[in-house]
Structure 1
Amino acid sequence: MDLTETRLTSERIYEGRILNLRRDKVRLPNGREASREVVEHPGAVAIIALDAEKNVYLVRQYRYPINRATLEIPAGKLDAGEEPLACAQRELAEEVGLAAAEWQPLLTFYSTPGFSNEIMHLFLATGLRPHREKADDDEFIEIVRVPLAEAVTMALGGELQDAKSIAGILAAARIWQA
């Protein structure tokens, strides 16, 4: 069965610094027409930074859309033309003040395919050493180091509620048998 929806028209509703929003009219597989709202995002990276003692580096930061601070793995938006690995290296230095000797791709997934085209590239970073880059002016971050086994408990117990962090921690734990 062909499930493809074909775009008939597209209207740009909003253009922003982080995302764009458009409304499309589509033809459904049964021939009817429907409306789809799409959040366009340039893609992002997230990093499981794992030190020699099997601790994961997390960042606590305030997330305005949900009106609270969250505990997450370091992550950031891809700049135009930027490769995911270069972005991951930049974000790890900016958010946590670290560089890594080894980088391993873990997962690539769509964060919310029901309404957004954001693709997330998840990396495992090991062989960590200090390397500070200038952080973004609008980011206020607290760095938290947690044993990987404890991070798994936090992910499965609901203490962590950020999807990329949960996926990353569980993927890293599977590799490292935490």
Structure 2
Amino acid sequence: MPDAHLIEHQVSQEELLRGNFLHAFRDTVCLPNQELATREYIVHPGAVMVIPMLETPDGLKLVLERQYRYPVGQVMIEFPAGKRDAGEDPWRCAQRELQEETGYTARQWARAGVLHPVIAYSTEVIEIWFAKELIGGPRQLDHEEFLDVFLATPAQLMAWCQAGLVTDAKTLTGALWLQNSLSGQWPLVWQPLD
């Protein structure tokens, strides 16, 4: 389907902020009707999210985190996730974040897809990865990172999503992927860790 009637073209760009993590801009754009408008947005380095699945004697459990998120002022339930370092391969980033935040490593990995969490004002892309055949070990949290790791069943996660206890966009998207992959609707292609 042709999209030319929807595309906006950059006329000029103004840098608003260059922080340690985020880079903000205000662009003037030419709209499809030839009028000018402004677009403010954040350039983000990209991130990964991992859906770690742990087989226990009591059945499948998910490795989740509880972490205080300053911008919203509350503790959130989330899947492990983190930003990519410059030039870092997303799969390597997923492995690193899983181990650093939870202590787990995984023998099997599957890439599910991508998520654009805030398309109105950010370039952020989150790659979604599944991990299984988990092996526990020590965590290596950053010195400014504080989070709890806990286990829950898929049914518990879905109930928390429905009740509004899970509101993080990436975790909600992860729950959708999980539900559809467990039902067989969205099959995953697993690959062993090399």
TM-score, normalised to structure 1, is 0.96
- Mapped partners of 2:133, 2:71: distance in 1: 34
- Residue 131 of structure 1 and its aligned partner are, at CA, apart by 3.4
- Mapped partners of 1:87, 1:95: distance in 2: 12
Q: Secondary structure at the match of 1:12?
A: strand
Answer whether contact 2:115 2:170 (CA < 8 A) is retained: no
- RMSD between aligned residues: 1.3
- Mapped partners of 2:19, 2:152: distance in 1: 35
The alignment status of 1:170 with 2:176, answered yes or no, reads yes
Q: Specify the alignment match of 2:142 in structure 1.
A: 136
Answer whether contact 1:149 1:173 (CA < 8 A) is retained: no
The answer to which of 77-86 and 103-112 deviates more is 103-112
- Residue 127 of structure 1 and its aligned partner are, at CA, apart by 0.6
Gaps of 5+ in 2: 185-194
The alignment status of 1:98 with 2:101, answered yes or no, reads no
- Residue 133 of structure 1 and its aligned partner are, at CA, apart by 4.7
Q: Specify the alignment match of 1:43 in structure 2.
A: 46
- Mapped partners of 2:112, 2:171: distance in 1: 12
- Mapped partners of 2:162, 2:24: distance in 1: 33
Out of 86, 91, 101, the position equivalent to 2:92 is 86
Answer whether contact 1:46 1:123 (CA < 8 A) is retained: yes
Q: Specify the alignment match of 1:64 in structure 2.
A: 70
Q: Specify the alignment match of 2:187 in structure 1.
A: none
Q: Specify the alignment match of 1:23 in structure 2.
A: 26
Q: Specify the alignment match of 1:112 in structure 2.
A: 118
- Mapped partners of 2:52, 2:160: distance in 1: 16
Q: Secondary structure at the match of 1:35?
A: strand
Q: Specify the alignment match of 2:158 in structure 1.
A: 152
Deviation by residue 1:78-122 (Cα, 9 ceiling, x = unmatched)? 000001110010000011000011111112021111110000101
Query: Partner amino acid for 1:36?
Result: R
Q: Secondary structure at the match of 1:114?
A: coil
Query: Partner amino acid for 1:24?
Result: D
- Residue 157 of structure 1 and its aligned partner are, at CA, apart by 2.1
Q: Secondary structure at the match of 1:54?
A: strand
- Mapped partners of 2:39, 2:120: distance in 1: 10
- Mapped partners of 2:179, 2:155: distance in 1: 7
- Mapped partners of 2:135, 2:161: distance in 1: 26
- Mapped partners of 2:136, 2:63: distance in 1: 13
Deviation by residue 1:120-172 (Cα, 9 ceiling, x = unmatched)? 10111101001335211111011111001111111122110101001102211
Out of 15, 20, 27, the position equivalent to 1:12 is 15
